[in-house]
Amino acid sequence: MQDPYNPAARSGRPHTLWQAFEAAGYEERLALLQKTLAREPEIVSGDVAARLLETLFYQAIDHDERGRFDALVETLRAQAPEAYRSQAHQFLEWRLANALADGRPEETPALARELAGLAAEHPQTFNNNLDRLAYHDCLATLVEMMRLAWEQVRQTAGLPESIIREYSARATDYEIFHYLEQSDDPDAHDPALLARLEFYFAVNHDGLAHYLAVLAGRVGYRWNLEHFPLEQSGRQPDAVLQNLNALTVEFAGYLRQVEGVAYAKAALARPQILHYLLRRPAGDLVYREGPLTMARRPVGSRPAHLMQEPDHPLCPDRETLERFLDHLLFLANPQIYKAAATYELLPAWLRFLESQGLIDAARHRQTLADLKEVDTELIGRWTNNPADPALQANAGRWPE
């Protein structure tokens, strides 16, 4: 390829930077962008930089040169600061992925702090990277991010109160998880803990004491299936909702204390398991005929799929689980880390249920055998992700 900066070659220079970039190979693309930033940084807008760097991000992964990509982003920051600032949320997401994949955790706090400053402007990217960091157990970084972004979130005009409550609940969960990891004798009246939690909202001391004890594995309830009389349509009774929520909180404590799973990763899966168990009897996860299929079905015949009562109210089944994961992955903003953590921790959920006497060994084996048949293409929607090789590695160890 002719160097577009060589004066002798200017008559054949591509009309745009993008055209030159498209015609180049990997090494030439890197050199082209570096030269452009050094000589004509004004022609690199934020949109152009994001488009070029997105291509180079995946090429750098293919060449095992994530660090080289990160250095190029730093060059962009220095040479074209306005272009960098306009798309900083995207560049920071790529760099966080690289730091985690390359085993450079010491770089994540500074990147995360910068992203926290953009939380109100780019909430989707912020939340996606909270999930990424939770999946990788970057708990101290999560605690700091949530505190840094809190004032932005709280003061965002028009933000529903429910979103603010959800944010503060997630933030205080991270504070509590971090406290439990640091304390040999957790105490709900610890002034340091209370000060950190009251940064977000007033504390219910009795509720906090119970939550700490459950997560620390110090207390538990003697459950039986009579506590979970799930109705097969409509809203569940409040008592059932409370029992399911309490059971899944105990599961989070079990994951940390028995299975050695990080609290932050457990917190990705726990609410998804709860939502799945509630959506299945409500009929949200069953096949529904479209108008055309319904019109073609012979008069008097029954639909091919009807809602059926599950074999066990607390055990997932392959068909509805696939639909639940599919919903997570086919949102406008796919929740890949929530889907991954949920799938990975289902074997632990079954072990937990058996430890509680809620299923027997035969039911455990039967359910696990059914879940092993989950569609591999569905799983591939989060494991075929070159940005984070841990997703594929962890799914490959299932059902550990």
Residue 156 or residue 233, greater confidence: 156
Q: Is residue 271 part of a domain?
A: yes
Q: Residue 18: how many CB atoms within 10 A of its CB?
A: 12
Q: Is residue 376 part of a domain?
A: yes
Q: What is the pLDDT of residues 287-319, one digit of tens each?
A: 654 444 445 546 665 555 555 778 899 999 999
**Number of folded domains in the chain?**
1
- Tell me the percentage of the chain whose pLDDT exceeds 90: 83
Average pLDDT over residues 132-147: 98
Q: Is residue 348 part of a domain?
A: yes
Instruction: State the helix-helix crossing angle for 108-116 and 88-101, rounded to 10 degrees.
Output: 160
Q: Is residue 60 part of a domain?
A: no
Q: Is residue 3 part of a domain?
A: no
Q: Residue 61: how many CB atoms within 10 A of its CB?
A: 18
User: Which pTM value belongs to this model?
Assistant: 0.91
Q: Is residue 189 part of a domain?
A: no
Q: Is residue 282 part of a domain?
A: yes
Whether 7 has a pLDDT exceeding 90, the answer reads no
Query: Which residue range(s) make up the domain with 362?
Result: 226-287+307-400
Q: Residue 400 has what pLDDT?
A: 74
Average pLDDT over residues 70-97: 98
Cβ neighbours of residue 177 closer than 8 Å, sequence gap 6 or more: 139, 215, 263, 264, 267
Q: Residue 290 has what pLDDT?
A: 43
Q: Is residue 203 part of a domain?
A: no
CB neighbour burial string for 178-212, b if at least 16 within 10 angstroms, e if fewer:
bbbeeeeebebebeebbebbeebeebeeeebebbb
Tokens 């660090």 sit at which residue? 67
Cβ neighbours of residue 57 closer than 8 Å, sequence gap 6 or more: 69, 94, 387
